[in-house]
Amino acid sequence: MLKNRRVLVTGADGFIGSHLTEALVREGAEVTAFCLYNSNGSIGWLAGIDSDVRSSIDVVLGDIRDARFVEQALEGIEIVFHLAALIAIPYSYSAPSSFVETNVNGTLNVLEAARLKGCQRVVNTSTSEVYGTPETVPITEDHPLRGQSPYSATKIAADKLAEAYHSSFDTPVVTLRPFNTYGPRQSARAVIPTMLSQMITGSREIHLGNLAPKRDFTYVSDTVVGFILAGAAYGIEGQVIQLGTGSTYSILEIFELAKRLTGSDAEIVSDSERFRPEKSEVMVLLSDPTRARELLGWSPTVSIEDGLSRTAKWVEANLELFDPSRYHV
């Protein structure tokens, strides 16, 4: 679909971004990976992918908050997949300004650079958290937006900037709204690798937060397919499209599935520090995937059982990356 297209992925060093970058190379795209600058020259998760794939990637180290650098990075780019963001909800309670600078100003920089450089498609990455506690489920793309955390508020602002640039300048932007992507390379700040790493290391007590919230969990390879389709589909500019399975599981249900898959006999210990503030917690996020199916021809293929099993195998093979004794915000 994107063979020989010149594409740029912001946040390419992250969880979803690294999987997307890898898949785009295998699609035959000419890929530039925009990774966060650091003095060690680290390219994050991209460092661990197959060397033949990695050698095909043009890596630029920079900061999405630097408008001039972003504009330079978009020179000659046809399609931008914008995934660079601060994403940890608990950290957004401590550092809200950082989330504004990265998620809002960073998105503005990408949109403005895409406008100036005449990019043919910008795929903006949203989150199901923008809905807050929903009024109705399943949630459609037309559901009202509600900022119940600084993180979600900044993502709402980014989505509205994308909407404004399409309306004001006819910028060819599409907003994808994934629901709780999980899989290999996800950090311990997320609930699934948190519980799996504790189980696999033999912990008898699994430290978790609120067990009642329900989420629509989508395996990362399915999410990546949705991104590629959104980069290639004709006539979808200005659309908001959800990527979710249309099924929901509580954290307790995921815990029980993970126990069975890992053979763990551990019990749950609820840690108060892992709970969100009461008014900030979102109790259920359940997608209606109709629009993705109709506009992109996208449907998820990986079951929750298969996805958890694949993730557990990856966690077990990479335990050195996890410290189950600590709570990671």
Q: Is residue 139 part of a domain?
A: yes
Residues 106 and 191 in one domain: no
Q: Is residue 196 part of a domain?
A: yes
Residues 87 and 153 in one domain: yes
Alpha helices in the chain (DSSP H): 15-27, 51-54, 67-73, 89-94, 96-99, 106-117, 150-169, 191-200, 220-232, 251-262, 290-296, 304-317
Give the CATH number for residue 49. Answer: 3.40.50.720
Q: How many domains does the chain have?
A: 2
Residues 193 and 229 in one domain: no
Q: Would you give per-residue pLDDT tens digits along the chain (329 residues)?
A: 899 999 999 999 999 999 999 999 999 999 999 999 999 999 999 999 999 999 999 999 999 999 999 999 999 999 999 999 999 999 999 999 999 999 999 999 999 999 999 999 999 999 999 999 999 999 999 999 999 999 999 999 999 999 999 999 999 999 999 999 999 999 888 889 989 999 998 888 888 878 888 999 999 999 999 999 999 999 999 999 999 999 999 999 999 999 999 999 988 888 767 777 778 888 899 999 999 999 999 999 999 999 999 999 999 999 998 877 666 66
Structural domain for 76, as ranges:
6-181+219-243
Residues 133 and 156 in one domain: yes
Q: Minimal CA–CA distance to 24: which of 185, 227, 219, 180?
A: 227
Residues 146 and 205 in one domain: no
Beta carbons of 217 and 182 less than 8 angstroms apart: yes
* Full-model pTM: 0.95
Q: Is residue 97 part of a domain?
A: yes
